[in-house]
Amino acid sequence: MRVMILGKATEATENATMPTAEEFAAMEAFNDELEKSGIVLASEGLKPSAAGKRVGFDADGRVSVTDGPFAETKELVAGYQIWEVASIEEAVAWVSRSPVRGGEVEIRPLYSAEDFAGIADPAEQ
């Protein structure tokens, strides 16, 4: 199963505060271990929300654009990874080994073609 690992933003990530050399080394070692395991399909950090925009759509399809920064830091994402794991429990086990301190990581399963059986055109699956 594929899952998305969402590293939640903190005050430090929103202020573009870089990690200490020790924190960076610990995360780099953890990411190296993940890479060697073969589960990582993609991995990126995100710049603070001040560098971003939100695009909204009303019921009629009209577009509104809001410039960052965005208010609720705890609801923002600071980085992501996409993993291929046997189960969500395996993803939890890996995340539990992370050197993240003072933060939160969300794990979300990704949809697969099987989830849309009977809805999507079978020729497109």
Gap between the Cα atoms of 64 and 92, Å rounded: 37
- pLDDT > 70? residue 96: yes
Gap between the Cα atoms of 31 and 17, Å rounded: 20
**For the residues 67-93, what does the mean pLDDT come to?**
93
Cross-strand bridge partners of residue 40: 83
What's the pTM?
0.83
82 sits in which H/E element: strand 77-84
Percent pLDDT > 70 in the chain is 95
Confidence band (pLDDT; 50, 70, 90) for 114? confident
Q: Which of 93, 5, 12 is nearest to 42 (CA)?
A: 5
For the chain, domain boundaries: 2-114
Task: Fold for 2-114, please state it.
Answer: Alpha-Beta Plaits (3.30.70)
pLDDT at 124: 60
Gap between the Cα atoms of 10 and 104, Å rounded: 9
